[in-house]
Amino acid sequence: MVRSMTGYGRSVGMYGSLQLTVEIRAVNHRFCEILVRLPKTWGMLEEPVRKLVGQFVRRGRVDVAVTVDAGGLTGQGIAIDWAVAEHYVSAAQEMNERFSLHTPLTAKDLLLLPGVVQTRDAAEADAEQASEWLLAACREAAEDLLSMKRKEGLKLQADLEQRLARISVWTEEIGQMAPLVVDEYRSRLHQRMAEWAETAPFELDAQRLAQEAAFLAERSDISEEVTRLTSHCSQFAELLGREEAVGRKLDFLLQEMNREANTIASKANHLPIQRLAVEIKTELEKMREQVQNIE
């Protein structure tokens, strides 16, 4: 199934005191490029998020933005390192005994000593426990993105199939006219050469003239180009049904089809065929614009 390169996915969820919002935007790009923006305290999850989103994207530039709202809990959480505090108390008691001091060590004194009090942002504290939740939210947003890409892909595929059908019909018509082109061209050449021979001031080699006429007539033969164009149409239709990323292959085929149409238009000195070749080229140009949006 064809998938579009453009799309948008979003997921919002509450995890403890945090509200996580994941937004994924995908646009056209020659290769697959995934950019992840996370809050500073969540930076260690950048690579896991990139790998997860990569499972849903085959080509294109993808921007993943994760925002965290701590629900107004922007203050500092306080934690006491009791082991450090006990060391300080033991050291103070030993110093009092050794130097016969009677100065008590208060709780206020302990709180001012380095290492006893540790602070951390509330969002950071929750983030340590929410990595799985974040990845789940990213997966939900990526699935939303994929759904949109598939819906858009169905529209692109339907449009391409319609245009391809018209090109196939026109190619068949050209194929039916192709043998007549050679015969008509050969007849015109013989007639003109005969007329010229009557007025030529010297005798012409009839056999050589016939050979030259046959050679020029063969140069107007477009049967090979028609065969290749028909084959390209079949390959294009087959690619549209694949699950893999086919955008580049489709673009290459369109270039080849356009080349065959150009050759047909230039070789066939036949107005109806030239008109059909122009119609084919017009459809190919529209198809190429659509293919630029396919993964």
Chain segment 76-89, per-residue pLDDT in tens: 555 677 888 888 88
Residues 140 and 163 placed together within one structural domain of the fold: no
Residues 62 and 89 placed together within one structural domain of the fold: no
Half-sphere exposure of 226 toward its Cβ, with a 13 Å CA cutoff?
Answer: 20
Q: Read off the pLDDT of each residue in 168-196 and give the average, rounded to a whole number.
A: 77
Residues 130 and 162 placed together within one structural domain of the fold: no
Residues 144 and 220 placed together within one structural domain of the fold: no
DSSP letter at 4? Answer: B
Residues 130 and 105 placed together within one structural domain of the fold: no
Parent domain of 185: 153-291
Report the alpha-carbon angle 90-94-98, nearest 5. 175
Q: Read off the pLDDT of each residue in 162-186 and give the average, rounded to a whole number.
A: 86
Which single residue is written with the structure tokens 């929750």? 126
Of 28, 23, 25, give the one whose Cα is nearest residue 60. Answer: 28
Query: Which one of 90, 115, 140 terminates a domain?
Result: 115
Residues 181 and 213 placed together within one structural domain of the fold: yes
Tokens representing 13? Answer: 């969820």
Residues 221 and 109 placed together within one structural domain of the fold: no
Residues 28 and 134 placed together within one structural domain of the fold: yes
Q: Read off the pLDDT of each residue in 253-282 and give the average, rounded to a whole number.
A: 91
Strand order in the sheet with 18-27: 7-15, 18-27, 60-69, 32-37
pLDDT tens for 117-126 read 665 554 554 5
Tokens representing 85? Answer: 């505090």
Helices and strands (H and E) in the chain: how many: 9, 6
Residues 44 and 130 placed together within one structural domain of the fold: yes
pLDDT tens for 88-105 read 888 888 888 887 877 777
- Per-residue b or e along 35-56, where b marks 16 or more CB atoms closer than 10 Å to that residue's CB: ebebbebbeebeeebeebbeeb
| 1 located within any domain | no
CATH no. for residue 60?
Answer: 3.30.230
Confidence of residue 109 (pLDDT cuts 50, 70, 90): confident
| 130 located within any domain | yes
| 77 located within any domain | no
Residues 48 and 170 placed together within one structural domain of the fold: no
Report the alpha-carbon angle 295-5-260, nearest 5. 50
How many structural domains are present in the chain?
3
Assess whether pLDDT exceeds 90 at residue 163: yes
| 139 located within any domain | yes
| 191 located within any domain | yes
Cβ–Cβ < 8 Å for 252, 292: no
- Per-residue b or e along 235-250, where b marks 16 or more CB atoms closer than 10 Å to that residue's CB: ebeebbeeeebbbebb
Mean pLDDT, the chain, whole residue set: 84
Query: Which one of 95, 115, 135 terminates a domain?
Result: 115
Residues 86 and 56 placed together within one structural domain of the fold: no
Find all residues with CB under 8 Å of 245, minimum gap 6, and list them.
Answer: 3, 58, 59, 295
Residues 163 and 275 placed together within one structural domain of the fold: yes
Cβ–Cβ < 8 Å for 28, 292: yes
